[in-house]
Structure 1
Amino acid sequence: MSGHAVGVRIPYAQAPARVQRWVEGRLGGEIAEVVDCIGGMSPGPAARVRTASRAAAFVKACGTDLNPNTPVLLRAEARVLAALPEHPSLPRLLEVHDDGDWVVLLIEDLPGASPPAPWRHADLARVSAALADVRSVLDAVELQDLPSARDSSPIFLTRWRELADRLDLVDPWWADHHDALADHAERAAGLIDGDAVVHWDIRADNVVLTADRTVLVDWGQARRGAAWMDHAMLALDCSMSGSETSTAKLARTDPVLRERDPADLLALAAAAAMSFVSRSTEPAPQSLPTLPATSARWAESLRAYLADAVDHTS
């Protein structure tokens, strides 16, 4: 039940010719090497590219024909990356192309890879430390019109409530525990509220580990919310993508999470899992055929933590 989120991306070679010409123009030569990347839920290409003269970059792109929402996320990511200062844990934006249809981000090429799932102790420690180290830097970032988590995070606000009308479509465990989980999920909206700039999508496949850097990538979901939320997302991903360290154990050892009431993380997990279960019953969005199954896997992976945590708080 573990593993990275994997959608269905088109390869870089299938990106429009005008996109490929723009990339070549910005890198100063014809692309000689392409390494298509998997992972994430975007249908657009994500690739490491290199010219014959060794100029290199990471390309993320998508057009409205593939999915109307993904270019919006790329525009949001471009705004955030442009505002981020230099820091070892923050990626550097090189160029942006936006023709109103296709949006293309050129980002520094990172000579590394995402940590494998299941998470390993050492990798979790690296990411937890990076989140703590980058906090003061993010607190100084000036970002206008960054969405508020309290206003734009349906997973923690409203979507979990939809499960009540879909319990006949899912495993009976969710019906048996619905009311207890809902009582916890009710608290989530208040817990996510805050003024801090947060990544908001910390998962194993949104981190790149190099020999000397721990880089937080994919900033399209960035929000203004509670500063502890990125640590909470990391703890939830211990269950969602699998880990040698359980969500509950990371909550006891992470320097930020261990200062929180354990019921706070339970409230977030309950809302997230109920939202994932509900979404698993819906048709797949355009060009995102794996989303229902991925949502079902995430919910099921959180279930062991939820069952134990609810028992300890009841």
Structure 2
Amino acid sequence: MTSSAPPAVGVRTPWEALPTAVRAAIADVLGAPVVQAVTQTGGFSPGVAARVTTAGGRRAFVKAVSAEVNPVSPEMHREEARYAAALPFGVPAPPLLGSYDDGTWVALVFEDVAGRQPHVPWHERELALVLDAVGELSRALTPAPLDAPSVVEYLADGFQGWQQMIDDGDRGEGLDPWTASHLSYLAELAFPWTDLAVGDTLAHGDLRADNILLTADGRVVFVDWPHARRGAAPWFDLLIMLPCVRAQGGPDPEEVFAAHPLGRVAEPHAVTATLAGFAGFMIRNSRQPPPPGIPTLRAFQRAQGEAALQWLRKRLG
């Protein structure tokens, strides 16, 4: 299967466009002013995303955004600052070195990870490394080590996307004929997911290739934690990751899920209901106007939703 999802890219703000006060605050965190900044292109976050080097030779990763770029992104950065600071030692995530928030601009400064994103389309060996790491991440985050919003409460409405489409009078124009004619059935499948996907795990909530770094010594590091949510089933992150893997040239998600240790112990009805909810979440979102500064998001969501639907139909026989 070839990659069908568009690149995961947000509109980047150059380092030089950061206000002087923001750059000065970042220098305070790092102990010296930044003398080199290299913009990173992968990922949907708008604003600044750069690997930086200070006058003293210290390296870090900086992300910063203002409400002028995207009205939602500053609060996401604030949430990520809270969760990243609270992650326990040993979780494969970059340590947060410091943050800045003046009410308009929010900046996060992380330890730089000398790694790269996985190849897309996915390479078999790299996917195997990531799948093993997802299992280790689930074990490290069970029980949930920090107080984040409940995954069920946070996504209760979003995962009822099929029912919301019906309520909005959206008859699925432009979707494949089976999906368009089965909106009510899909809504019924998704309805009980809130009772079935619960657990004691902290989920990353947004595992994709652009949120993963591979290091030269074989480590897998998970970045971008604003969507961390507690109370998820141990298999939740694996389930929401696999449709994106499929949309980016990866293998059949049902085969991968069934072979994975987390998937083997998952209750089948819970998986089907949650998958139906995730598919509805992605398909409905993909039909909304694009958010400011993130031009490829809706097409990316459409590809994820379609991959989730294909997986769901396979489970349904």
Q: Considering the TM-score relative to the shorter chain, is it more than 0.5?
A: yes
1:167 aligns with 2:171: yes
Secondary structure of residue in 1 paired with 2:38:
strand
Q: Structure 1's 43 and 247: CA in aligned 2 closer, same or farther, altered over 3 A?
A: same
Give deviations 1:102-155, integer Å, cap 9, x for gaps. 1111001011111122222222221222222233432366423x1011111156
Query: Which of 122, 125, 128 is the equivalent residue of 1:122?
Result: 125
Greater mean deviation of Cα atoms: 49-58 or 31-40: 31-40
Query: Which of 148, 151, 173 is the equivalent residue of 2:153?
Result: 151
8 Å CA contact 1:3, 1:118 repeated in 2: no
1:107 aligns with 2:110: yes
Structure 1 runs of 4+ aligned residues shifted over 6 Å read: none
1:55 aligns with 2:58: yes
Written as runs of structure 1 = structure 2, the 5 A alignment for 1:159-238 is 159-164=161-166, 165-173=169-177, 174-212=179-217, 213-224=219-230, 225-238=232-245
Q: Structure 1's 112 and 308: CA in aligned 2 closer, same or farther, altered over 3 A?
A: same
Greater mean deviation of Cα atoms: 158-167 or 212-221: 158-167
Matched-pair identity in %: 35
Give deviations 1:284-306, integer Å, cap 9, x for gaps. 22333333222222223334323
Q: Which residue of 1 aligns with 2:302?
A: 296
Task: Compute the displacement of 1:220 (Å).
Answer: 0.4
- The letter for the 2-side match of 1:24 is A
Q: Which residue of 2 aligns with 1:5?
A: 8
2:311 and 2:145 map into 1 onto residues whose CA distance is 37
Task: Compute the displacement of 1:3 (Å).
Answer: 5.2
Task: Compute the displacement of 1:76 (Å).
Answer: 1.2
1:277 aligns with 2:280: no
Give deviations 1:192-226, integer Å, cap 9, x for gaps. 32332221111111111112321111110000122
1:226 and 1:168 map into 2 onto residues whose CA distance is 30
2:170 and 2:176 map into 1 onto residues whose CA distance is 11
1:247 and 1:170 map into 2 onto residues whose CA distance is 24
Greater mean deviation of Cα atoms: 126-135 or 208-217: 126-135
2:135 and 2:292 map into 1 onto residues whose CA distance is 36
Instruction: Give the length in aligned residue pairs.
Output: 309
Q: Which residue of 2 aligns with 1:32?
A: 35
TM-score with structure 2 length normalisation? 0.88
1:281 and 1:231 map into 2 onto residues whose CA distance is 25
Q: Which residue of 2 aligns with 1:254?
A: 260
Structure 2 unmatched runs, 5+: none
Secondary structure of residue in 1 paired with 2:199:
coil
Secondary structure of residue in 2 paired with 1:234:
helix
Secondary structure of residue in 2 paired with 1:169:
coil
1:239 and 1:270 map into 2 onto residues whose CA distance is 16
Greater mean deviation of Cα atoms: 195-204 or 280-289: 280-289
Task: Compute the displacement of 1:256 (Å).
Answer: 0.7
TM-score with structure 1 length normalisation? 0.89
1:97 and 1:280 map into 2 onto residues whose CA distance is 32
Query: Which of 18, 21, 25 is the equivalent residue of 2:21?
Result: 18
Query: Which of 89, 97, 101 is the equivalent residue of 2:100?
Result: 97
Task: Compute the displacement of 1:228 (Å).
Answer: 1.9
8 Å CA contact 1:155, 1:271 repeated in 2: no
2:260 and 2:207 map into 1 onto residues whose CA distance is 15
Greater mean deviation of Cα atoms: 93-102 or 7-16: 7-16
Task: Compute the displacement of 1:282 (Å).
Answer: 1.8
2:101 and 2:171 map into 1 onto residues whose CA distance is 42
8 Å CA contact 1:32, 1:51 repeated in 2: yes
8 Å CA contact 1:8, 1:290 repeated in 2: no
1:267 and 1:241 map into 2 onto residues whose CA distance is 23
